[in-house]
Each structure stands twice: as C-alpha cells, then as structure tokens.
Amino acid sequence: MTRIELPIGSMMVSVMIHQHKVIQVYKEQQSVPIEEHGAHQLRVDLDGHELQLDTSELNANALAVSVDNAPWQWVEVPHATAQQRGNWLGLAALGFKLFKSAKVIKAALLGASVAGYAWLFSWQFALMLVACLVVHEYGHVRAMRYFGLKTKGFYLIPFVGGLAMSEDKMTTRWQDVIISLMGPAFGLFTSVLGVVLYYATGAEIFAGVAVLSALLNLFNLLPILPLDGGHVLKSISFSMRSWMGLLACLGGLALGLWISYEFGLMLLAFFIFIGSVEILLEWRSRHQTHLLPLDRYGQIVSAALYVLVAVGHIAVMWHFADSDNVILSLPVKVLSS
C-alpha cells in the first residue's frame, strides 16, 4: 500500500495506491467517490475542485495529476515496502491463512468452544458465553463491511475468545477505532436486550446473559493491546505524536501486567506478550505507516464513544449489584475490589 499526499487549495488529499491501481482517495481523512473516465483516467470531485488522475504509467511508478483542468504533472510513486516471505514466520502465516479459509474449521471451533466451556462450567453457561462472543465478533465484521473491507467472518477460539478476520488492510485510524468499538457496542445491545427480557419474563438466565456480556465486553475495553480498548488507545495516541502513542501503549501494558498478577490471569499475560510485539511493530513502522491519523475532532469523538460504551456496560452490571444472586452481583464486586 502506497500513499501520495497532494495539497489542493486548503485541503490535503491522499491517494491510496495498491498493486499499480488507485484504490481510494481521501479528502481530510474522508473517503470520496472516484469516477472512471476512459481506460486510465479517473476524476474526483473535491467540493469546488476537480482532481484528475492518469494511471497509464503506474506500472512505471508514475502518476499524472491535474487539478481544475490544469496541465498534467507527473508524480513519482514510491515503491511499497517489500514484505519478507521467505522465513518461517511467513510460512506460518500462509499456513494459517489456508487453515482459516475452510468453513468446516469455523464449525469445528464453534463446537469445540461450546464443548470446552460446558466441560468447565455447564452447557447453559457455555451457550450463553458463546452467544455473547458471536455477537461481539459479528459487530467487528459488520464494521469492516461498512468500510468496504473484505472479510472472512470470525473464528471462535476455545478458552481464548474470538477473532474477526479481514482480507483488506485498514487505511485510516478512524476505521481502526470504529471496528474495535463495534464489538463491545454490539455486546452492549446484547446486555440491554438481556435486561429487557429479564423484566419481561422474570427468567434469571436473561439477567445472566446481560451481566456476562457486560463483563466480557468491559474486559475487552481495557486499554491493553491487543484488546479492543488497546486499539482505540493506540489509534488516538499515535494520531497525536508517535512518542505519546508509545508511552500510552506501554502504560496500558503496565496496567495489564498488574491486573494479570493481581487476579492470576495467565491468559491476559499471553495477550500482553502479543500486544508488546504489536507495539514494537507499530513503533518501527511509524514513519512508513499508510494509516491516516485522527484529527483533533476525531480524537475527541473516539474517546467519547469509548467512554460511552464502557459506561453502558458498567451501568448494566451496576443494575444487578444488589441482586440476591451471587453470580449477578459478582462483576461489580470484582470492579470495586
């Protein structure tokens, strides 16, 4: 993926190029439609300005640009950074891609998740837990599709959680924020629905779904990579300054280590190791990143959405804090300990 920035008037326009094709144009981080005119010419309406692109020489790493019918100017297209595929890590990634492509694997992992959680707890709890995970991961997939990203659905991983997969790369930090938050947001819908059904039927199983969904999604909102909250923190902080992003993400890891030690969560420690690798890669590629950063307005809105979703889950758990059922009141006791 290669990004070319063009100053047009008071605007900054970004042209995204992949495999010798113009795939997207952004005006101040907002995607704008591209119209085809001829075999190699594209036109983009920029609210008062007309941008024309000639892609006939993209194979030679050259792009012709014209603004408001001005003479064509040729712009050099930098070479995309080559990815090393000859090592064992590349082979492992390729093997995993082949592994996840089969639909039968999804069904097998779903069955393994239900069986595993049923073995540890009960089949009723297993079904509730898996339902909460499915809704959460579906939220991520819906957000990916909203931004036009190709997906391969999601996969449930026994005793770990779930993983939503995208074939395309994100192009903006805003996409990362929304995709990360949609999982907990859909989980909040599940929690609210559970509360409504509990009062409509009086069945405590719906209250259990509400509390369990709220607890799982609130845990996922912790500002620790690779959790959803960590991705929101990374997108906001790295949009400010690279060193602020590094400090914020390292602070999240420190919080995760404390929680892991305090509650004996070894799985969280494994997540923290993965998050450390992600932070290292983000820092090393900070000058070559193709992700458009959040502006100040985007940073404020992202933080507000994060707080809104988190407060919603806390409110659901707090609603059952005084319940006589030990399970329903347990999450608030954990938060207040």
Which structural domains are found in the chain, ordered by start?
A: 2-76 (2.40.128), 169-336 (no CATH)
CA–CA separation, 334 vs 26, rounded Å?
Answer: 45
Torsions phi, psi of 241, nearest 5? -150, 150
Tell me how far apart the alpha carbons of residues 187 and 220 are, in angstroms, rounded to a whole number: 10
| Average pLDDT of the residues in 304-309 | 90
Half-sphere exposure of 125 (CA within 13 A, CB side): 10
Q: Averaged over 79-100, what is the pLDDT?
A: 54
Dump pLDDT digits (tens) for 212-234.
888 888 888 887 777 888 888 88
Phi, psi of 65 (to 5 degrees): -130, 135
> 189 falls in which pLDDT band (50, 70, 90)?
very high
Cα–Cα dist 231/176, whole Å: 7
Per residue in 247-286, pLDDT (tens digit) is: 776 776 677 677 667 766 666 666 677 767 776 766 676 6
Query: Residue 329's pLDDT is what?
Result: 67
Predicted TM-score (pTM) of this structure: 0.63
- Sign of the CA dihedral with 238 first, then 217, 136, and 118 last: positive
**pLDDT category of residue 86 using cuts at 50, 70 and 90:** very low
Structure tokens at 254: 């420190």
What is the mean predicted confidence (pLDDT) over 31-45? Answer: 82
Q: What is the dihedral of CA 24, 25, 30, 31, to 10 degrees?
A: -40
Question: What is the 3-class SS of the chain, one letter each residue?
Answer: CEEEEEEECCEEEEEEEECCEEEEEEECCEEECCEECCCCEEEEECCCCEEEEECCCHHHCEEEEEECCCCCEEEECCCCCCCCCCCHHHHHHHHHHHHHCCHHHHHHHHHHHHHHHHHHCCHHHHHHHHHHHHHHHHHHHHHHHHCCCCEEEEEEECCCEEEEEECCCCCEHHHHHHHHHHHHHHHHHHHHHHHHHHHHHCCHHHHHHHHHHHHHHHHHCCCCCCCHHHHHHHHHHHHHCHHHHHHHHHHHHHHHHHHHHHHCCHHHHHHHHHHHHHHHHHHHCCCCCCCECCCHHHHHHHHHHHHHHHHHHHHHHHHCCCCCCHHHHHHHHHHHC
- The whole-number pLDDT of residue 184 equals 92
Q: Counting Cβ atoms within 10 Å, is residue 101 exposed (0-12), middle (13-18) or buried (19+)?
A: exposed
* pLDDT top residue among 186 and 89: 186
Q: In whole angstroms, what separates CA 172 from the centre of its chain?
A: 11
Task: Name the residue with higher pLDDT: 268 or 188.
Answer: 188
